[in-house]
Amino acid sequence: MILPHGPVELPMFMPVATQASLKGLTPEQLESLGCRLCLNNTYHLGLKPGQATLDTIGGAHRLQSWNHNILTDSGGFQMVSLLKLAKVTEEGVKFLSPHDGTPMLLTPEHSMSLQNSIGSDIMMQLDDVIATTSPDNERIQEAMHRSIRWLDRCIEAHKYPEKQNLFCIIQGGLDLDLRRQCVEQMVKRDTPGIAIGGLSGGEEKAKYCSVVRTCTEMLPDMKPRYVMGVGYPEDLVVSVALGADMFDCVWPTRTARFGNAVTSRGTLNLRHASYGTDFSPVDEDCDCLCCRSKEAGGLGVTKAYIHHLTGKETAGAHILTMHNVHYLLNLMRKARKAIIADTYPEFVKEFFGKIYKYKISDYPDWAVEALKTVGIDLQHVPSASECT
């Protein structure tokens, strides 16, 4: 995918730098991990430093000395999720300022204006987001249609379409027909990229997968498909198989601060006493700066060291954040390699095999079933003749 601040390779995971900073990492460290596109939150940047300061500095790239790409959300989701008093009307999202309680309104036009000031390489339309678990079908339908109308207003208000890429967001809850209607309308608007929104809100994984597959089946091949709010390694690997390209989530960085290491053998809670005397690397298969041995130019960090630091010293959170971000960026790099070599099914089998120690009965049903729909059979054990 070619973006104003350089090309990026798909599929990819985008770390979330909420306040123009990835918690626990400097921009240089993030760069050294190979990250070329990270996420900033419009809502937070709009509040502080605020639009006037962003205009004076010349945007968020300058603010955080980040010469690579930035994607910004519309600000809407943050408001609806952070502010209990947010109310959605046709005009926009109404809320009370968290600073002084004055009534404020985020419209599609205002969201575009803020993202134009931030100067993000990819900007997201303001959409009407409803939890997929909402029982209110009428409201889900209204939100889907409103999101299409708001996209039209965003396109109209976007000042720099030649240098900032606006992505639409497909809504429609778990209703596959609504999703199809939305895809049809959104694709007509011909935005440079397409997001599948409203997922990862606690819905059943099987339903998540059928929404992703339903949307990707109808989307144009040559446009990036971004599934918002997804960050668990298994979700990423399955979603890539279903045709998705881009993902973001705060989970890998947030969970690092609680002492959880995302590894090729699953997520390890390093606070557990059993790691107190475990002097092996955080992930034996990882070649990040922390996991690499001293001899190989790394830090030679052990599970026991992280166990010792967690909760007491911020260095523990920094080191683990670096490892977790590396793990996800690298997982997507390996997925890309496998896709190019036309060996993605083998990659998926090895990935699940390692996490579940090849105990097929432990594999999650939702993943097994979703992968079957695209011709990957996790439960198939090759016979001797196939191996030769």
Distance CA 6, CA 236 (A): 24
Which of 1, 174, 183, 291 contacts Zn ion by CB under 5 A? 291
By CB under 5 A, the residues from 55 to 114 that bind Zn ion are none
Q: How far is the CB of 286 from Zn ion (least distance, A)?
A: 3
Judged by beta carbon, residue 216 or residue 324, the one nearer Zn ion is 324
Listed ranges 85-93, 135-143, 178-186, 278-286: which one lies at the site for Zn ion (CB under 5 A) = 278-286
Judged by beta carbon, residue 243 or residue 298, the one nearer Zn ion is 298
Which of 169, 238, 286, 378 contacts Zn ion by CB under 5 A? 286
Which residue ranges are tagged as binding site for substrate?
73-77, 127, 171, 198
Q: How far is the CB of 291 from Zn ion (least distance, A)?
A: 3
> What does each C-alpha distance from 255 to 9, 23, 81, 191 come to in angstroms?
25, 11, 20, 34
Q: Which residues are catalytic?
A: 73, 248
- Tell me if 269 sits within 8 A of 259, measured CB to CB: yes
Q: At what angle do helices 108-118 and 137-157 cross, to 10 degrees?
A: 50
* # residues near Zn ion by CB under 5 A: 5
- The residue written with tokens 């240098």 in the block is 163
Q: How far is the CB of 288 from Zn ion (least distance, A)?
A: 3
Distance CA 329, CA 34 (A): 8
3-class SS at 176?
helix
Judged by beta carbon, residue 203 or residue 278, the one nearer Zn ion is 278
Listed ranges 150-158, 169-177, 285-293, 328-336: which one lies at the site for Zn ion (CB under 5 A) = 285-293
Listed ranges 175-183, 279-287, 357-365, 373-381: which one lies at the site for Zn ion (CB under 5 A) = 279-287
Distance CA 269, CA 260 (A): 5
Which of 288, 331, 371, 378 contacts Zn ion by CB under 5 A? 288
For residue 207, give both structure tokens: 């339903």
- Tell me if 385 sits within 8 A of 224, measured CB to CB: no
Distance CA 240, CA 298 (A): 31
Judged by beta carbon, residue 130 or residue 256, the one nearer Zn ion is 256
Element (H, E) at 141: helix 137-157
Q: How far is the CB of 323 from Zn ion (least distance, A)?
A: 4
Write each residue from 38 to 57 as x if it is in contact with Zn ion (CB under 5 A), else as -, in one continuous string.
Answer: --------------------
For residue 223, give both structure tokens: 């446009």
Binding status of residue 33 toward Zn ion by CB under 5 A = no
Element (H, E) at 60: helix 60-63
Listed ranges 46-54, 253-261, 267-275, 291-299: which one lies at the site for Zn ion (CB under 5 A) = 291-299
Alpha helices by DSSP H, 189-313:
205-218, 233-241, 251-256, 303-309
Q: How far is the CB of 336 from Zn ion (least distance, A)?
A: 19
Q: How far is the CB of 287 from Zn ion (least distance, A)?
A: 7
Residue closest to 302 by CA, chosen among 318, 284, 285, 317: 284
Judged by beta carbon, residue 227 or residue 286, the one nearer Zn ion is 286
Write each residue from 315 to 334 as x if it is in contact with Zn ion (CB under 5 A), else as -, in one continuous string.
Answer: --------x-----------
Q: What are phi and psi of 13, to 5 degrees?
A: -105, 135
Longest dimension (CA), the chain: 72
Binding site for Zn ion (CB under 5 A): 286, 288, 290-291, 323
